Amino acid sequence: MVELFPECDAVLRNALDRRYTASVARVERHGRVLFERAYGRTRADEFARPIAIDTRFDLASLTKLFVATIALDAVARGHFALDAALVATIPEWSELPHRAITMRHLLAHTSGMQSGAHYRSLRDRAVEEFALTTELQGAVGEGVLYSDLGFIALGVAIARREGRSLQALLEGFVARSGFGYRPRARQWGAIPATECDSWRGRVQGAVHDEKAYLCGGVAGHAGLFGSAADAAWVGEQYLAPLHGRGSVLEPGLAREAVREQAFDPTLRRALGWALKTRDDNSCGPGFSRDSFGHTGFTGTCIWVDPQRDLTAVLLSNTVYFGRDDSTDLRRAFFTGVTEALDRLS
């Protein structure tokens, strides 16, 4: 498989131990794996362990894609309506401007809710309460503001309506070995470490995102750990209905979820997903304008191209070496994917 994707292999080898200590890449086309490879080790010290293709990474904001999926499943089962206000499920909003917020607003980042808050301001507060009650930054439905708080609220709404914890709901729905929130302590050493911060030291096996950590490791915006195959699985649930394959989602909702809902000059917004807007997006110029994807702060990324029937995943721990932007690395990898496929066609 490596010989078919030499540019991808070169990009990932060159970045190893400079941009990250660990990465796993996976490319699927027509639902079949064309390329899958693991690089590196869990950390850059004497405690390092080798990486395998099934290594679980801190998925960071790729968590939002899985939460969006169970939200849409709840819509299909009649437990929510996309355009009905959520105030009945979140009564904290009854006397606030938030009372007009719908599931569609939360999924498309058009709720007007703030992006987030620095963890230092939340260490003595209940994060969920803060997310639900902090004042809006914009008017509901009148613009895109990427919001972790919005997805925290979405997770709260789903758990309340279903009468089960978000962890139980997601792990039961996805039902993939090793996938989920809060890895057990005996598994931590096999998970790629992330940042060394002033609060917790070197983070490994616990969620990197501070808000999710303060939620006990379970939140709607971050906290899941999974493999490249897990990330590709969630992409396939939206891609498959476009090509006549089976999905856990109702086909009409899957198609609606990857349709433009709101325009952002950087990334157009769908339901849970971002849509390609420019050639300098992290998917690079080779992905079609219909492509949908998402990034995670720890170094994770997925892009799906319906025109090519393609899913490509790159999981890494770039945050291990700091918080520098890794868009160039991602773009180089995804460009390598499309260049290889163009040669094969």
**Helix (H/G/I), strand (E/B), else coil: 140:** coil
Classify residue 127: in a domain, yes or no.
Answer: yes
Classify residue 207: in a domain, yes or no.
Answer: no
Classify residue 216: in a domain, yes or no.
Answer: no
> Is-contact 220 206, C-beta < 8 A?
no
**274 and 299, same domain (yes or no):** yes
CATH number at residue 44: 3.40.710.10
DSSP 221: S
Q: What is the pLDDT of residue 116?
A: 84
**46 and 7, same domain (yes or no):** yes
306-320 in b/e form (b: 16+ CB < 10 A) is bebbbbbbbbbbbbb
Residue corresponding to tokens 């180089």: 332
Final residue of a structural domain among 141, 169, 197: 169
**Helix (H/G/I), strand (E/B), else coil: 1:** coil
Final residue of a structural domain among 148, 169, 190: 169
Q: What is the pLDDT of residue 323?
A: 94
Q: Would the pTM count as exceeding 0.85? A: yes
φ and ψ at 318, to 5 degrees? -60, -30
Classify residue 105: in a domain, yes or no.
Answer: yes
Classify residue 337: in a domain, yes or no.
Answer: yes
Dihedral angle computed from the Cα positions of residues 168, 172, 178 and 184, in that order, rounded to the nearest 10 degrees: 20
Q: What is the pLDDT of residue 289?
A: 96
Final residue of a structural domain among 169, 185, 219: 169
**326 and 291, same domain (yes or no):** yes
> Along the 345 residues of the chain, how does pLDDT read in single tens digits?
668 899 999 999 999 999 999 999 999 999 999 999 999 999 999 999 999 999 999 999 999 999 999 999 999 999 999 999 999 999 999 999 999 999 999 999 999 999 987 666 666 568 899 999 999 999 999 999 999 999 999 999 999 999 999 999 999 999 898 999 999 999 999 999 999 988 899 999 999 999 999 999 999 999 999 999 999 999 999 999 999 999 999 999 999 999 999 998 887 999 999 999 999 999 999 999 999 999 999 999 999 999 999 999 999 999 999 999 999 999 999 999 999 999 988
User: One-letter amino acid identity for 164?
Assistant: R
Which residues are CB-contacts of 125 (< 8 A; sequence separation ≥ 6)?
none
Classify residue 189: in a domain, yes or no.
Answer: no
Classify residue 206: in a domain, yes or no.
Answer: no
Classify residue 190: in a domain, yes or no.
Answer: no
d(CA 80, CA 190): 38
User: What range does the domain containing 125 cover?
Assistant: 67-169
Number of domains in the chain: 2
Residue corresponding to tokens 């169970």: 70
**pLDDT tens digits, 138-182:** 999 999 999 999 999 999 999 999 999 999 999 999 989 899 999
Phi-psi domain of 170 (left: phi exceeds 0; alpha: psi -120 through 50; beta: other) = alpha
Q: How far is CA 154 from its chain centroid?
A: 14
Q: What is the pLDDT of residue 1?
A: 65
**54 and 99, same domain (yes or no):** no
**pLDDT tens digits, 197-212:** 888 999 999 999 999 9
Among 290, 301, 287, 288, smallest CA distance to 329 is for: 301
